[in-house]
Amino acid sequence: MSVLAVRDVWKLYHGRPVLERINAEIGEGSFVAVVGPSGCGKTTFLRMLMSEERPDRGAILLDGLPLPLEPTHDRGVVFQRYSVFPHLTVLGNVVLPLEFARSRRLGKLFGIAKQRAEEEARTMLEDVGLTGAAPLYPAALSGGMQQRLALAQALIRRPRVLLLDEPFSALDPGTRADIHALMKRLWRETQMTIVMVTHDISEAFRLGTRVLVFERPPVQPDGAQGGAVVTHDIKVHERNIDKLQSRRATPTGDGPGAVSVTSRDDLATA
Amino acid sequence: MRLINRHPNPRLARVLTASPFVAVAVVYVIASTIRHAANPDDKLLPTIAQMGAAMWRMAAQQDMESGDYLMLNDTIVSLQRLLLGLGISLAVSFAIGVSVGMIPYLKRLFVPFINAFSMVPPLAILPILFIVAGIGETAKVSLIVLGTAPYMIRDLILRVEELPRPQIIKAQTLGAGDWQIALRVVVPQMLPRLIDSLRLSLGPAWLYLISAEAIAAENGLGYRIFLVRRYFAMDIILPYVAWITLLAFFADLGLRWLQHAAFPWFAGARAQ
Amino acid sequence: MGSSTLSRQNFLRGGAALAAAAATATKATPARADVKKHFKLAWTIYVGWMPWPWAAEKGIVKKWADKYGITIDVVEVNDYSTSINQYTAGGFDALTITNMDTLAVPAIGGVDSTSIITGDYSNGNDALILKDKTSFDAVKGQKVNIVEYSVSQYLLARGLQMHHMTERDVKLVNTSDADMAAAFETPAVTAVVTWNPIVLQILQDKKAHEVFSSAKIPGEILDLVIVNTPTLKANPDFAKALVGAWYETLGIMLSNTPEGEAARTEMGKLSGTDLAGFDAQLKTTYLFSNPAKAAAFTRSGKLVTTMEYVRQFLFTNGLMGQGASSADVVGIEFPNGKILGDSKKVMFRFTDEYMKMAASKSL
């Protein structure tokens, strides 16, 4: 059975469709990359998965049950920015989820319980390569380190699904390569289900086991425009990168097989 | 080179900083000297020596009637009123600001009301305040609270709303409930912002304190200024004004230091 | 609050005072004045001073100024204390003011001033009011809400003196006149000293009892017109024009004619009340309508006694200037040549010269 099931989902803004007839079954342990031009509704799709927005039609099921109405700890997220808490140290950021789980009233642990949580958090930090940064505040970290921290924070409570919203878009290429490697390793080790939105098509194919392409149909002569649909659902095998390169060289716009990436615009921060 | 790209060296920078202060002092001394040449008893622009003597009398000599050191007494009494008023404003605005900022139902209920209420000039409804709070200490503190709390509440609501939405979502995906989000995410981030709000409220707080002391009082810095104003005692008023300015300046400095020391993360977070 | 607050003692409002005073900073008051043609008189709203704006409006001031070949600006200042400070700083040549304030501000501030018109005295306009108590002695130990250092405090001091008490027997709470009536409505306030029309307003409360008023010390709280002495010496015509205009105006307003009533109605309106309100205030104000009587009062030994009370009061309250060792730091000169205080430093002079000229119709 799929972890996430998206059944005929529509999303309207001011009465106009943004997304139409979206169907997807996302299996256990898969890494789904969602790509598409800016404004195609891919971020809206992710926001529906984290219960920040609700579909106007259709249903989304998590493990066969309707999605909860608000964000819950079974779906972890990493955003492009503002993913970590600036007022907590690196260690504090990773301890926080454990404190939420273990101290329902105050959200704060003391004494032995705190020490134990800190040990777990340190293990997690070691896993993402941030051991030395534990006492620092996020503002002192580079963008790449902040995203490593965001991953560590999101993963420590072992969510059922990890949702990534353009998580690496703001990083420079070298840093991005490192963090891709980390991402891949963590995914393999945890066997977690991941849905990632990105506008970087090479990133989608490098990391994803499956790539969903969202596109809106062209504007009609009368000005009407339908919502985006899934135009391609590509199974990616590992080492599929060469194929990707050739696709990228294809002119965009027409032709059913074309994938267009028109803008580096970032919806996550919009 | 363009003016916007030219910077004074450190020495010149210090001279530039000092020069307006020196200029004002020099102009004052000249004007005072001219007036005193014409009338040795001039009250408008007392000489430095006269102000010094007045301050000596106010600060270092016991009052014949009460045995108090008047300036010390005035300062303590005024600061007590100021701190009590600002303390209440701080507590009220923090509680209301955080809860209203976080909870949509409360936002609907209170924000338009608070916005409208904050437009009411407190000095214009003094008679009502007197009936409710009398004209004693309660009224003075109330006036400071009425004068500063609405702004601080509005400011804090805005600051809570300004917290990036992803942070709040993130906290929920980490399993936090309402209380946990309030205590671990919102409140700690609001504390340094509250200090900003407090710094901006210091000016109005002084204004309302002095107004309150002008309306009815037995002591206090504002009381003294308005009392001696009746006899044009600029030799007391000017040093008192300087003293109030100095107190306000150091209060501001102290708050900045506190923000820096207690919330070391804040400067970096704000810069991002 | 009633709309007709007296501005004579209304000094707590109007924060612009200091700024306005600073604007005149460089105009030093000269020890010897030049002959000049243009003069400025400052007035504030008070029942005894309302003839001035009315006389200016009706052209009476201009008529008399023309007669002496000068011009006179009659300027309203919206705050009594500001008007005194501006006069003292050199911004005006003449001012409407009380005898006590003349001594305490311009005289102590080294600005030699001469009173040319003894206009009126408070004859019940200022009063001590107690809540639920009917005898003066009940004031003992109470907190008294009052405009400190005003004629109210002088009135209270004189009342205490007459009842064998001192200011140490009460506790003063400086309270703005604008808020006095509202303050009286609050439970904690049990005793106030204030002036009309606030007195009339507070007395409407059944719990309020007037236990002392300026009617018990007639002739002590005087309302004057003062002129800067060097200016006066160089320009006696200025004083003549003012005095001429003053008594012509009083003659009209106090006459029992339709013109008199119309004048009082307009003066009432100018001070924010109506004919009835203005007449009620006039009832507790003794206006010297007869210049001969005003001159005689100014020559009397009674005035010397009053000024002795006033200067001792100011000295006791530390208002005779820094380091004053006695009330003698400045001199007050009377028409008969008698001087109270330092005869080498006379800064406050009473003259009956111009009132006598008005009486003998020689202006």
Per-position DSSP letters for A40-61, written without gaps between them? SSHHHHHHHHTTSS--SEEEEE
Minimum-distance CB partner of A87 among B174, B180, B269: B269
Domain made up of B71-263: CATH architecture: Orthogonal Bundle (1.10)
Dihedral sign, Cα of residue A152, residue A153, residue A155, residue A158: positive
Q: Residues C174, B220: contact at Cβ < 8 Å?
A: no
Instruction: Looking at the complex, report in whole angstroms how far the Cα of residue C218 sits from the nearest Cα belonging to chain B.
Output: 24
Instruction: Looking at the complex, report in whole angstroms how far the Cα of residue B110 sits from the nearest Cα belonging to chain C.
Output: 31
Window from A112-121, A249-258, C31-40, C162-171 with minimum mean pLDDT: A249-258
**Radius of gyration (Cα) for chain C, nearest Å?**
20
**For residue B217, pLDDT beyond 80:** yes
Helix (H), strand (E), coil (C) string for chain C: CCCCCCCCCCCCCCCCHHHHHHHCCCCCCCCCCCCCCEEEEEECCCHHHCHHHHHHHCCHHHHHHHHCCCEEEEEECCCHHHHHHHHHHCCCCEEEEEHHHHHHHHHCCCCCEEEEEEEEEECCCEEEEEECCCCHHHHCCCEEEECCCCHHHHHHHHHHHHCCCCHHHCEEEEECHHHHHHHHCCCCCCEEEEECCHHHHHHCCCCEEEEEEHHHCCCCCEEEEEEEHHHHHHCHHHHHHHHHHHHHHHHHHCCCCHHHHHHHHHHHHHCCCCHHHHHHHHHCEEECCCHHHHHHHHHCHHHHHHHHHHHHHHHHCCCCCCCCCCHHHCEEECCCCCEECCCCCEEEEECCHHHHHHHCCCC
Chain A CB contacts of B180 under 8 Å are: 100, 104, 106-107
Helices B70-102/B187-215 angle, 10° precision: 140
Q: How far is it, in rounded angstroms, from Cα B213 to Cα C254?
A: 42
Instruction: Looking at the complex, report in whole angstroms how far the Cα of residue B174 sits from the nearest Cα belonging to chain A.
Output: 5
- What's the token pair of residue B2? 């363009």
Helices in chain B by DSSP H: which ranges?
10-38, 48-55, 70-102, 104-117, 126-133, 137-162, 165-173, 178-181, 187-215, 221-229, 234-262, 266-271
Interface-testing mutation among C5, C12, C171, with chain B (most B C-beta atoms within 10 A): C12
Cis-peptide into A68, omega within 30 deg: no
Window from A93-102, B207-216, C246-255, C348-357 with minimum mean pLDDT: B207-216
Per residue in C224-254, pLDDT (tens digit) is 999 999 999 999 999 999 999 999 999 999 9
C-alpha angle A254-A258-A264 in degrees, rounded to nearest 5: 100
Chain B CB contacts of A140 under 8 Å are: 268
Q: How far is it, in rounded angstroms, from Cα C182 to Cα B134?
A: 10
Residue in the structure block whose two tokens are 């007036």: B35
Q: Do C186 and B217 touch (CB under 8 A)?
A: no
Query: What domains, with CATH codes, occur in chain A?
Result: 28-52+160-270 (3.40.50.300), 85-158 (no CATH)
- What's the token pair of residue B116? 């409208």
The torsion angles phi and psi of A89, rounded to 5 degrees, stand at -70, 170
Mean pLDDT of chain C: 88
**For residue B6, pLDDT beyond 50:** yes
Q: Give residue ranges of B with CB < 8 Å to any A CB.
A: 164-167, 169-177, 179-180, 183-185, 188-189, 263-266, 268-269, 271-272
pLDDT category at B272 given cuts 50, 70, 90 is confident
Q: Closest-CA residue in chain B for C100? A: B231
- What's the token pair of residue C159? 């009342």
The one-letter amino acid at A219:
V
Give the pLDDT confidence score for residue B128 in this predicted structure.
Answer: 83
Neighbours of chain A (3+ CB pairs under 8 A): B
Interface-testing mutation among C145, C149, C179, C231, with chain B (most B C-beta atoms within 10 A): C179
Burial (CB count <10 Å: 0-12, 13-18, 19+), residue A99: buried
Q: Give residue ranges of A with CB < 8 Å to any B CB.
A: 50, 52, 70-73, 75-77, 79, 81-88, 96-97, 99-101, 104-108, 137-140, 153-154, 157, 159
Per residue in A66-120, pLDDT (tens digit) is 999 999 999 999 998 888 999 999 999 999 999 999 988 888 999 999 999 999 9
Per residue in C100-118, pLDDT (tens digit) is 999 999 999 999 999 999 9
pLDDT (average), residues B110-132: 87
Q: What is the DSSP string of A148-191?
A: HHHHHHHHTT--SEEEEESTTTTS-HHHHHHHHHHHHHHHHHHT
Window from A127-141, C188-202, C273-287, C313-327 with minimum mean pLDDT: C313-327
CATH number of C126-216: 3.40.190.10
By C-alpha distance, which of C171, C135, C93, C120 is closest to C285?
C120
Per residue in B174-183, pLDDT (tens digit) is 999 999 999 9
Q: Do B232 and C172 touch (CB under 8 A)?
A: no
pLDDT category at B94 given cuts 50, 70, 90 is very high
Q: How far is it, in rounded angstroms, from Cα C139 to Cα C159?
A: 10
- The full set of domain ranges for chain B reads 71-263
Q: Residues A43, A169: contact at Cβ < 8 Å?
A: no
Count contacts between B and C (CB, < 8 Å): 125
Are chains C and B touching, using the cut-off of 8 Å on CB pairs and a minimum of 3 such pairs? yes
Q: Residues B184, B176: contact at Cβ < 8 Å?
A: yes
Q: Closest-CA residue in chain B for C81? A: B230
Helix (H), strand (E), coil (C) string for A210-256: EEEEEECCCCCCCCCCCCEEEEEEEECCCCCHHHHHHHHHCCCCCCC
Give the pLDDT confidence score for residue C32 in this predicted structure.
Answer: 63
Mark residue B118 as left, alpha or beta (left: phi above 0; alpha: psi -120 to 50; beta: remaining). Answer: alpha
Q: Residues C106, C40: contact at Cβ < 8 Å?
A: no
Give the pLDDT confidence score for residue C271 in this predicted structure.
Answer: 85
By C-alpha distance, which of B65, B36, B63 is closest to B48?
B36
Q: What is the DSSP string of A97-152?
A: HHHHHH-TTTS---HHHHHHHHHHHHHHHHHHT-GGGTTS-GGGS-HHHHHHHHHH
pLDDT (average), residues C251-273: 92
**For residue C30, pLDDT beyond 70:** no
Chain C contact present for B230, CB below 8 A: yes
Instruction: Looking at the complex, report in whole angstroms how far the Cα of residue A206 sits from the nearest Cα belonging to chain B.
Output: 26
Share of chain C above pLDDT 70, in %: 91
**Class for the domain spanning C17-121+221-359:** alpha beta
Q: How far is it, in rounded angstroms, from Cα C321 to Cα C324?
A: 6
Per-residue pLDDT of chain A (270 residues; tens, 9 = 90+): 688 889 988 988 888 888 888 888 898 889 999 998 887 888 899 999 999 999 999 999 999 899 999 999 999 999 988 889 999 999 999 999 999 999 888 889 999 999 999 999 999 999 899 999 999 999 999 999 999 999 999 999 899 999 999 999 888 888 888 999 999 999 988 888 999 999 888 899 989 999 999 888 888 888 777 788 888 888 886 544 444 444 444 444 333 333 433 333 333 333
Q: Do B265 and A106 touch (CB under 8 A)?
A: no
Give the pLDDT confidence score for residue A1 in this predicted structure.
Answer: 65
Minimum-distance CB partner of B268 among A101, A108, A140: A140
Q: Do C168 and B65 touch (CB under 8 A)?
A: yes
Chain A CB contacts of B102 under 8 Å are: none
Window from A93-107, B22-36, C7-21, C179-193 with minimum mean pLDDT: C7-21
Give the pLDDT confidence score for residue A238 in this predicted structure.
Answer: 55
Q: Do C28 and B39 touch (CB under 8 A)?
A: yes
Count contacts between A and B (CB, < 8 Å): 98
Minimum-distance CB partner of A139 among B173, B184, B272: B272
Q: Closest-CA residue in chain C for B241? A: C18
Instruction: Looking at the complex, report in whole angstroms how far the Cα of residue C171 sits from the nearest Cα belonging to chain B.
Output: 9
The one-letter amino acid at A254:
D
Instruction: Looking at the complex, report in whole angstroms how far the Cα of residue A83 sits from the nearest Cα belonging to chain B.
Output: 6
Q: Do A73 and B174 touch (CB under 8 A)?
A: yes
Q: How far is it, in rounded angstroms, from Cα B87 to Cα B154?
A: 17
Give the pLDDT confidence score for residue A266 in this predicted structure.
Answer: 35
pLDDT category at B71 given cuts 50, 70, 90 is very high
Q: Do A96 and B174 touch (CB under 8 A)?
A: yes
